[in-house]
Amino acid sequence: MLIRFGHEFTVTCTQPTPMLCLTAAHVERSGDLLAPEKLTNSRDDVPVHSYYDIFGNVVRRFVAPVGEYTFGSDATLRDNGMIDEVPPPEAGDTPIAALPDEVLIYLVGSRYCETDLLSPVAWELFGRTAPGWERVQAISEFVHSRIAFNYQDADATRTAFGAFEECKGVCRDFTHLGIALCRAMNIPARYVNGYLGDIGVPVAPYPMDFSAWMEVFVAGKWYTLDPRHHARRIGRIVTARGRDAADVPLIQSFGPHVLSKFEVWTDEVWEG
Protein backbone atom coordinates (compact mmCIF):
# COMPACT_ATOMS: atom_id res chain seq x y z
CA MET A 1 0.00 0.00 0.00
CA LEU A 2 1.02 3.63 -0.51
CA ILE A 3 0.75 6.37 2.11
CA ARG A 4 1.04 10.06 1.36
CA PHE A 5 2.13 12.07 4.38
CA GLY A 6 3.26 15.58 5.17
CA HIS A 7 2.68 18.80 7.01
CA GLU A 8 2.60 22.57 6.65
CA PHE A 9 3.28 25.02 9.47
CA THR A 10 3.07 28.81 9.41
CA VAL A 11 4.76 30.86 12.12
CA THR A 12 4.96 34.59 12.69
CA CYS A 13 8.05 36.06 14.37
CA THR A 14 8.91 39.59 15.50
CA GLN A 15 12.62 38.92 15.13
CA PRO A 16 14.82 36.35 13.33
CA THR A 17 14.22 33.17 15.34
CA PRO A 18 16.33 29.99 15.18
CA MET A 19 14.20 26.84 15.02
CA LEU A 20 14.61 23.07 14.93
CA CYS A 21 12.02 20.81 13.31
CA LEU A 22 11.77 17.01 13.81
CA THR A 23 9.12 15.99 11.29
CA ALA A 24 11.10 14.10 8.63
CA ALA A 25 10.41 10.40 8.17
CA HIS A 26 12.97 8.39 10.12
CA VAL A 27 15.97 7.25 8.13
CA GLU A 28 14.83 3.64 8.57
CA ARG A 29 12.02 4.40 6.08
CA SER A 30 14.31 5.95 3.44
CA GLY A 31 14.13 2.83 1.29
CA ASP A 32 10.32 2.96 1.31
CA LEU A 33 10.04 6.50 -0.09
CA LEU A 34 8.97 6.68 -3.72
CA ALA A 35 11.02 9.89 -3.96
CA PRO A 36 12.81 12.14 -1.47
CA GLU A 37 10.53 14.25 0.72
CA LYS A 38 9.63 17.47 -1.03
CA LEU A 39 10.35 20.42 1.25
CA THR A 40 8.23 23.56 0.98
CA ASN A 41 9.52 26.94 2.03
CA SER A 42 7.79 30.29 1.54
CA ARG A 43 11.10 32.18 1.54
CA ASP A 44 13.88 31.26 -0.88
CA ASP A 45 16.37 33.21 1.23
CA VAL A 46 15.91 30.91 4.26
CA PRO A 47 18.41 28.04 4.07
CA VAL A 48 17.46 24.76 5.76
CA HIS A 49 20.21 22.52 7.14
CA SER A 50 19.68 18.91 8.29
CA TYR A 51 21.66 16.81 10.77
CA TYR A 52 21.25 13.69 12.92
CA ASP A 53 20.80 14.14 16.66
CA ILE A 54 22.12 11.80 19.36
CA PHE A 55 19.08 9.53 18.97
CA GLY A 56 19.51 9.17 15.21
CA ASN A 57 16.61 11.48 14.30
CA VAL A 58 16.72 13.84 11.33
CA VAL A 59 16.61 17.44 12.57
CA ARG A 60 16.03 20.36 10.23
CA ARG A 61 17.32 23.73 11.42
CA PHE A 62 16.71 27.20 10.07
CA VAL A 63 16.24 30.80 11.17
CA ALA A 64 12.64 31.91 10.69
CA PRO A 65 12.58 35.48 9.35
CA VAL A 66 10.62 38.42 10.71
CA GLY A 67 6.97 38.21 9.71
CA GLU A 68 5.04 35.23 8.41
CA TYR A 69 6.96 32.14 7.33
CA THR A 70 5.56 28.82 6.03
CA PHE A 71 7.47 25.55 5.84
CA GLY A 72 6.59 21.89 5.43
CA SER A 73 7.12 18.68 3.53
CA ASP A 74 5.24 16.16 1.41
CA ALA A 75 6.11 12.58 0.45
CA THR A 76 4.73 9.17 -0.42
CA LEU A 77 6.08 5.86 0.77
CA ARG A 78 5.33 2.20 0.31
CA ASP A 79 4.11 0.41 3.45
CA ASN A 80 3.66 -3.32 3.98
CA GLY A 81 0.12 -2.76 5.24
CA MET A 82 0.69 -4.98 8.26
CA ILE A 83 -0.57 -4.19 11.74
CA ASP A 84 1.92 -3.52 14.54
CA GLU A 85 4.13 -6.49 15.27
CA VAL A 86 3.88 -8.10 18.70
CA PRO A 87 6.00 -10.79 20.36
CA PRO A 88 4.63 -14.18 21.41
CA PRO A 89 2.31 -13.83 24.42
CA GLU A 90 4.79 -15.69 26.59
CA ALA A 91 7.66 -13.30 25.74
CA GLY A 92 9.43 -12.32 28.94
CA ASP A 93 11.57 -9.45 30.14
CA THR A 94 15.18 -9.10 29.12
CA PRO A 95 17.26 -9.17 32.32
CA ILE A 96 18.85 -5.79 33.01
CA ALA A 97 22.32 -7.35 33.01
CA ALA A 98 21.67 -8.61 29.46
CA LEU A 99 20.37 -5.32 28.03
CA PRO A 100 22.45 -3.66 25.30
CA ASP A 101 24.34 -0.62 26.59
CA GLU A 102 22.36 1.80 24.41
CA VAL A 103 19.05 0.58 25.87
CA LEU A 104 19.87 1.37 29.51
CA ILE A 105 19.05 5.08 29.12
CA TYR A 106 15.42 4.10 28.55
CA LEU A 107 15.17 2.53 32.02
CA VAL A 108 15.64 5.71 34.05
CA GLY A 109 13.46 8.73 34.75
CA SER A 110 13.41 11.72 32.39
CA ARG A 111 11.90 15.20 32.14
CA TYR A 112 8.29 14.07 31.71
CA CYS A 113 8.51 10.52 33.10
CA GLU A 114 9.00 10.50 36.89
CA THR A 115 9.74 6.88 37.66
CA ASP A 116 10.49 7.73 41.28
CA LEU A 117 6.99 9.07 41.90
CA LEU A 118 5.22 6.31 39.99
CA SER A 119 7.28 3.31 41.10
CA PRO A 120 5.09 2.50 44.16
CA VAL A 121 1.96 2.76 42.00
CA ALA A 122 3.47 0.56 39.29
CA TRP A 123 4.49 -2.22 41.65
CA GLU A 124 1.16 -2.15 43.45
CA LEU A 125 -0.78 -2.38 40.19
CA PHE A 126 1.42 -4.69 38.12
CA GLY A 127 3.71 -6.48 40.54
CA ARG A 128 1.64 -9.66 40.31
CA THR A 129 1.41 -9.73 36.51
CA ALA A 130 3.70 -12.01 34.52
CA PRO A 131 6.93 -10.23 33.51
CA GLY A 132 7.26 -9.38 29.85
CA TRP A 133 4.59 -8.81 27.24
CA GLU A 134 1.69 -9.70 29.56
CA ARG A 135 2.81 -6.97 31.98
CA VAL A 136 3.28 -4.46 29.15
CA GLN A 137 -0.25 -5.13 27.89
CA ALA A 138 -1.63 -4.68 31.39
CA ILE A 139 0.10 -1.30 31.65
CA SER A 140 -1.27 -0.21 28.26
CA GLU A 141 -4.80 -1.23 29.19
CA PHE A 142 -4.57 0.62 32.51
CA VAL A 143 -3.30 3.85 30.91
CA HIS A 144 -5.92 3.63 28.17
CA SER A 145 -8.71 3.43 30.74
CA ARG A 146 -7.14 5.88 33.21
CA ILE A 147 -6.85 8.92 30.91
CA ALA A 148 -9.74 10.60 29.08
CA PHE A 149 -8.60 11.88 25.68
CA ASN A 150 -9.50 15.46 24.77
CA TYR A 151 -7.55 17.90 22.58
CA GLN A 152 -8.81 20.74 24.78
CA ASP A 153 -6.90 19.22 27.71
CA ALA A 154 -3.48 19.49 26.05
CA ASP A 155 -0.84 20.91 28.41
CA ALA A 156 2.82 21.09 27.36
CA THR A 157 3.96 21.05 31.00
CA ARG A 158 1.96 18.00 32.14
CA THR A 159 4.13 15.07 33.20
CA ALA A 160 3.39 11.37 33.54
CA PHE A 161 2.55 11.79 37.23
CA GLY A 162 0.33 14.75 36.36
CA ALA A 163 -1.53 12.67 33.80
CA PHE A 164 -1.96 9.89 36.36
CA GLU A 165 -3.46 12.32 38.89
CA GLU A 166 -5.54 14.46 36.49
CA CYS A 167 -6.81 11.51 34.39
CA LYS A 168 -6.95 13.62 31.22
CA GLY A 169 -4.77 14.59 28.31
CA VAL A 170 -3.71 13.86 24.75
CA CYS A 171 -1.58 11.17 23.12
CA ARG A 172 1.68 12.45 24.64
CA ASP A 173 0.17 12.09 28.13
CA PHE A 174 -0.89 8.49 27.49
CA THR A 175 2.62 7.83 26.20
CA HIS A 176 4.45 9.49 29.09
CA LEU A 177 2.43 7.60 31.69
CA GLY A 178 2.92 4.30 29.86
CA ILE A 179 6.66 4.90 29.61
CA ALA A 180 7.04 5.86 33.27
CA LEU A 181 5.11 2.79 34.48
CA CYS A 182 7.11 0.46 32.23
CA ARG A 183 10.44 1.91 33.38
CA ALA A 184 9.32 1.64 37.00
CA MET A 185 8.84 -2.09 36.33
CA ASN A 186 12.35 -2.34 34.80
CA ILE A 187 11.05 -2.49 31.22
CA PRO A 188 12.94 -0.16 28.83
CA ALA A 189 10.54 2.22 27.08
CA ARG A 190 11.06 5.13 24.69
CA TYR A 191 8.92 7.93 23.25
CA VAL A 192 7.97 8.05 19.56
CA ASN A 193 6.53 10.83 17.41
CA GLY A 194 5.14 10.09 13.99
CA TYR A 195 2.37 10.06 11.44
CA LEU A 196 -0.59 7.76 12.09
CA GLY A 197 -3.47 8.05 9.66
CA ASP A 198 -6.99 6.68 9.96
CA ILE A 199 -6.10 3.61 7.92
CA GLY A 200 -8.14 0.49 8.63
CA VAL A 201 -10.14 2.29 11.34
CA PRO A 202 -13.09 4.73 11.37
CA VAL A 203 -12.07 8.28 10.47
CA ALA A 204 -11.58 10.39 13.59
CA PRO A 205 -13.94 13.38 13.93
CA TYR A 206 -11.15 15.95 14.35
CA PRO A 207 -8.28 17.33 12.21
CA MET A 208 -5.27 15.15 11.50
CA ASP A 209 -2.30 15.67 13.81
CA PHE A 210 1.03 14.10 14.57
CA SER A 211 0.72 11.20 16.97
CA ALA A 212 2.76 9.97 19.92
CA TRP A 213 3.21 6.37 21.00
CA MET A 214 5.91 4.33 22.67
CA GLU A 215 8.21 1.37 22.08
CA VAL A 216 9.14 -1.22 24.70
CA PHE A 217 12.14 -3.53 24.77
CA VAL A 218 10.87 -7.06 25.38
CA ALA A 219 12.55 -10.38 24.62
CA GLY A 220 15.53 -8.62 23.07
CA LYS A 221 13.62 -6.42 20.61
CA TRP A 222 11.73 -3.11 20.42
CA TYR A 223 7.94 -3.39 19.97
CA THR A 224 5.30 -0.71 19.42
CA LEU A 225 2.87 0.03 22.24
CA ASP A 226 0.06 2.58 21.89
CA PRO A 227 -1.76 3.26 25.19
CA ARG A 228 -3.80 6.03 23.55
CA HIS A 229 -5.61 3.59 21.25
CA HIS A 230 -4.68 0.31 22.99
CA ALA A 231 -4.91 -1.34 19.59
CA ARG A 232 -2.61 -2.52 16.83
CA ARG A 233 -2.68 -0.16 13.85
CA ILE A 234 -1.59 0.02 10.22
CA GLY A 235 0.73 2.54 8.62
CA ARG A 236 2.77 4.14 11.40
CA ILE A 237 5.53 6.41 10.08
CA VAL A 238 8.13 7.21 12.75
CA THR A 239 9.67 10.68 12.68
CA ALA A 240 11.61 10.76 15.95
CA ARG A 241 12.46 8.74 19.05
CA GLY A 242 13.74 9.87 22.43
CA ARG A 243 13.42 9.55 26.19
CA ASP A 244 10.24 11.66 26.21
CA ALA A 245 8.66 14.62 24.41
CA ALA A 246 11.45 16.96 25.53
CA ASP A 247 13.86 15.12 23.22
CA VAL A 248 11.65 15.17 20.12
CA PRO A 249 9.70 18.44 19.81
CA LEU A 250 7.95 18.94 16.48
CA ILE A 251 9.21 22.53 16.59
CA GLN A 252 11.88 23.83 18.96
CA SER A 253 11.91 27.62 18.90
CA PHE A 254 14.70 29.72 20.40
CA GLY A 255 12.57 32.84 20.66
CA PRO A 256 8.90 33.89 20.65
CA HIS A 257 6.66 32.97 17.74
CA VAL A 258 2.98 32.53 16.93
CA LEU A 259 1.86 29.33 15.20
CA SER A 260 -0.96 30.44 12.90
CA LYS A 261 -1.28 27.32 10.73
CA PHE A 262 -0.79 23.66 11.58
CA GLU A 263 -1.85 21.13 8.96
CA VAL A 264 -0.97 17.43 8.83
CA TRP A 265 -1.99 14.73 6.35
CA THR A 266 -1.53 10.95 6.35
CA ASP A 267 -3.65 9.16 3.78
CA GLU A 268 -3.66 5.90 1.93
CA VAL A 269 -3.43 6.53 -1.82
CA TRP A 270 -4.03 4.18 -4.72
CA GLU A 271 -1.27 3.18 -7.08
CA GLY A 272 -1.59 4.34 -10.66
**pLDDT per residue of the chain (272 residues) written in tens, 0 to 9:** 999 999 999 999 999 999 999 999 999 999 999 999 999 999 999 999 999 999 999 999 999 999 999 999 999 999 999 999 999 888 888 999 999 999 999 999 999 999 999 999 999 999 999 999 999 999 999 999 999 999 899 999 999 999 999 999 999 999 999 999 999 999 999 999 999 999 999 998 888 999 999 999 999 999 999 999 999 999 999 999 999 999 999 999 999 999 999 999 999 998 76
Give the count of beta carbons closer than 10 Å to the beta carbon of residue 77: 21
d(CA 240, CA 156): 18
- Give pLDDT, residue 186: 97
d(CA 60, CA 48): 6
- Give pLDDT, residue 89: 82
- Give pLDDT, residue 239: 98
- Give pLDDT, residue 271: 76
Q: Is residue 26 within 8 Å of residue 239, measured between CB atoms?
A: yes
Give the count of beta carbons closer than 10 Å to the beta carbon of residue 105: 14
Q: Which of 29, 21, 28, 38 is nearest to 2 (CA)?
A: 29
- Give pLDDT, residue 90: 84
- Give pLDDT, residue 108: 97
Rama region for 163: left / alpha / beta (φ>0; ψ in -120 to 50; rest): alpha
- Give pLDDT, residue 206: 84
Q: Is residue 87 within 8 Å of residue 224, measured between CB atoms?
A: no
d(CA 218, CA 166): 29
- Give pLDDT, residue 272: 63
- Amino acid identity of residue 215, one-letter, is E
d(CA 109, CA 114): 5
Give strand ranges (E) for the chain. Answer: 2-13, 17-21, 38-41, 49-52, 58-64, 67-78, 148-149, 168-169, 189-195, 211-218, 221-225, 237-242, 251-253, 258-269
